[in-house]
Amino acid sequence: MTDASTFESSKHSVLIIDDEPDLCELIEFHLQKDGFRTATLSNPLEAIGTARDFCPDLIILDVMMPELDGLRLCSMLKVDSKLKDVPILFLTAKCEPDERVKGFERGADDYLTKPFDNRELVARTKAILARTIKRKLAISGKLEAGPIILDPESHEVMVSGKLVDLTHTEFRLLHLMMERIGRVQSRENLLVNVWNYDTDIETRTVDNHVGRLRGKLGEVGDLIKTVRGVGYKLVLD
Amino acid sequence: MTDASTFESSKHSVLIIDDEPDLCELIEFHLQKDGFRTATLSNPLEAIGTARDFCPDLIILDVMMPELDGLRLCSMLKVDSKLKDVPILFLTAKCEPDERVKGFERGADDYLTKPFDNRELVARTKAILARTIKRKLAISGKLEAGPIILDPESHEVMVSGKLVDLTHTEFRLLHLMMERIGRVQSRENLLVNVWNYDTDIETRTVDNHVGRLRGKLGEVGDLIKTVRGVGYKLVLD
DNA sequence: GATGGTTGGCGCAAAGTTGTTACAAACTCT
DNA sequence: AGAGTTTGTAACAACTTTGCGCCAACCATC
């Protein structure tokens, strides 16, 4: 269990396109070690087809390739209806400033200069994915709190990529705490907002539901902290 | 799994154009084994005419042919009013980089490098067809949700390729859920949108219709999930 | 106005959820 | 350390929600 909460569970997929199979394998090795699902491709001409079939979350693309260079391929990817939103990480040979600028202009998300450090490769991969995931979440109205993702529309909660089955009350409780993340919520407050204003319910009932919620969230349940004498709060990490 | 469903039912037809009859037959054999309808053609000069008569869902085209090369033929197909939307899968001899790029530029949908693996041939054929079918569905206003295809115009619903007979209310119910796929719909919401705003109908009636709809959809009915205390939603998988 | 399919409502059984209680454990303060 | 308070949790009974079969009303078609 590393740092980036969002990645732990749901394996993200990366497509690596480089005309040198050896380099592909090397990159693949390091990404797989970090839990990514990968596919490699040494023939850039098959890129569009393979990418559409594999549906990657990220494409790592070598700029310098025979037959079809990375820039051109990038342009092709960016006009493909299914692939245009897939972020692209460019690999550029040494210092080719022009190439990089062109890459950004054509919609690349980041670049890495060969030869590169493996740690940096993984770090950048994660960074790009974190950005795009956050953007996607924000757009779709989902709420995120560390490894917890809550979707009000589909009424689903994912914890570390796994679907967790919550009852309506538990869902609303978590929803409220995620909206007010980090801030303590008194039992009365929770009763008013999660249950409806007609609060003739025992305040101890809240404890019970918090307990059940913690149970269903498993390890992650520890993110719901008890503030003795006051109430509960959801915290990150 | 996912894409396969689209194929089960109606047999798709493939036209194979290669100047070598042996290769034609080989390809034909493998595609037929997988349930495709096929036709072969060794004389590229007859291509347009044959293609118009056969009305294939896909054309497999050899790039290198005497008399009339594949690229030129591709261009001719792409300007033919009846054939311009038929996807094309190119067969290229090993190292012919330029040819392939030109092929993409002229509207080819994918490539396969000779010699190729039979499994890959079939896989790509299916992938291309899945793509074009989805595109066609989108254009024609049909809705798709996993194995369910709903056509608002003809008022028909296909499940895994089989026609399912739904009543008007059931149809509208499914229609709405497919439009709002993945999102929970409350009973009230359903009543307002499926029935007309005159909501003096018991909300329990919704349950009844959902039940009947589930029944008629058979196994696929499980895609309609109950979100206890909230409503119903249609999910994929 | 008969007919056959469709629709909305009712009622019951099954399944799932919830509030309460009771008691143990943890914490606070003297 | 011990009394007093607060919290965690298991158990359970009451309650709510849902699935399903049934029936009467409806409606278009013949």
What's the pLDDT tens digit per position in B30-54?
A: 999 998 999 999 988 888 888 999 9
Q: Any residues with CB less than 8 A from the CB of A5 and at least 6 apart, and which?
A: A146, A147, A160, A237
DSSP structural state of residue B218: G
Which residues of chain B lie closer than 8 angstroms to A66, CB-CB?
A: 97
Q: Which of A141, A87, A91, A85 is nearest to A115 (CA)?
A: A91
Phi/psi of residue B225, nearest 5 degrees: -95, 145
Q: What is the mean pLDDT of each run of 10 residues along chain A (237 residues)?
A: 42 91 93 93 82 90 83 82 87 70 78 86 93 88 92 94 94 96 92 80 89 94 94 92
User: Are B46 and B71 a contacting pair, CB within 8 Å?
Assistant: no
Which residues, 6+ apart, have CB-to-CB distance to B197 below 8 Å?
none
Q: Which nucleotides of D are covered by protein (CB under 7 A)?
A: 6-11, 17-22
Instruction: Provide the positions of strand C that have an atom within 7 A of a protein CB.
Output: 5-11, 16-22, 27-28
Nearest to B127 among A43, A45, A53 (CB): A53
pLDDT tens for B157-205 read: 999 888 999 999 999 999 999 999 999 999 998 988 888 766 677 888 9
**Chain A residues with a Cβ under 8 Å from any Cβ in chain B:** 43, 45-46, 48-49, 52-53, 66-68, 76, 153-155, 167-168
Residue of A237 and B96 predicted with greater confidence: A237
* Disruptive mutation site among A80, A82, A155, A170 for chain B (greatest number of B CBs within 10 Å): A155
Q: Is the CB of B214 under 7 A from strand D?
A: yes
Distance (Å) of CA B152 to CA B149, B176, B234? 10, 11, 17
Taking contacts as CB-CB distances below 8 angstroms, the residues of chain A near B127 are 49, 52-53
pTM for the full predicted model: 0.76
DSSP state of B192: H
Contacts of A211 (CB under 8 A, 6+ apart): none
- Contacts with A168 from chain B: Cβ below 8 Å: 228-230
Q: How many C-beta atoms surround the C-beta of residue A159 within 10 A? A: 20
Residue with nearest Cα to nucleotide D8 C1': A211
Of B110, B131, B227, the CB nearest to A155: B227
- Least Cα distance to B16 among B30, B28, B33 occurs for B28
pLDDT score, position A149: 94
Residues with CB under 7 A from strand C: A 167-170, 195, 200-202, 204-205, 208-209, 228; B 165, 167-170, 195, 200-202, 204-205, 208-209, 228-229
Res. B101: pLDDT tops 70: no
Give chain A positions within 8 Å (CB) of B113: 43
Tell me which of B104 and A61 has the higher pLDDT: A61
Q: Do A83 and A77 contact (CB within 8 A), yes or no?
A: yes
3-state secondary structure of B212: helix
- The span from the CA of A13 to the CA of A58, in Å, is 7
Q: What is the pLDDT of residue A33?
A: 92
- CB pair distance less than 8 Å for A154 and B124: no
Type and span of the H or E element at A218: none
CA of B204 to C1' of D21 (A): 15
Nearest CA-CA distance, residue A83 and chain B, Å: 13
Please write the tens of the pLDDT for every residue from B59-79. Answer: 999 888 877 888 888 888 888
Scanning every strand, the nucleotide with its C1' closest to B210's CA turns out to be D19
Q: How far is the CA of B142 from the C1' of D24 (A)?
A: 37
Residues of B in contact with A46 (CB under 8 A): 110-111
Rounded to the nearest integer, the mean pLDDT of chain B is 85
Q: Which of A101, A104, A102 is nearest to A89 (CA)?
A: A104
Higher pLDDT, B105 or B183: B183
Closest CA to B158 of B201, B220, B106: B220
Shortest Cα distance from A163 to chain B (angstroms)? Answer: 13
Report the SS3 class of residue A139: helix
Sequence-distant (6+) residues with CB within 8 A of B214 are B221, B222, B224
Helix, strand or coil for residue A178?
A: helix
Q: Please answer whether residues B164 and B217 qualify as being in contact, where contact means their C-beta atoms are separated by less than 8 angstroms.
A: yes
**Token output for A44:** 């850039």
Side-chain-facing half-sphere of B136: CA atoms under 13 Å: 12
pLDDT of residue B6: 43
Q: Quick one: B200 exposed, middle or buried, by C-beta within 10 A (0-12, 13-18, 19+)? A: exposed
Reply yes or no on whether the pLDDT at B2 is more than 50.
no
pLDDT at residue number B78: 86
Q: How confident is the model at residue B9 (pLDDT cuts 50, 70, 90)?
A: very low
Quick one: B177 exposed, middle or buried, by C-beta within 10 A (0-12, 13-18, 19+)? buried
The reported pLDDT for the residue numbered A197 is: 66
Strands B148-151 and B156-159, sheet pairing:
antiparallel
Q: B100, A153: Cβ pair inside 8 Å?
A: no
- B37-41, strands of its sheet edge to edge: B37-41, B13-17, B58-62, B88-93, B110-114
What residue has token string 């004498």?
A: A229
* Secondary structure of residue B205 in the 3-state scheme: helix
Beta bridge partners of A165: none
pLDDT cut 70: percent of chain B above it: 90
Residues 182-201 of B with CB under 7 A from strand D: 187
CA distance A207 to B157: 48
DSSP-derived letter for residue A227 is E
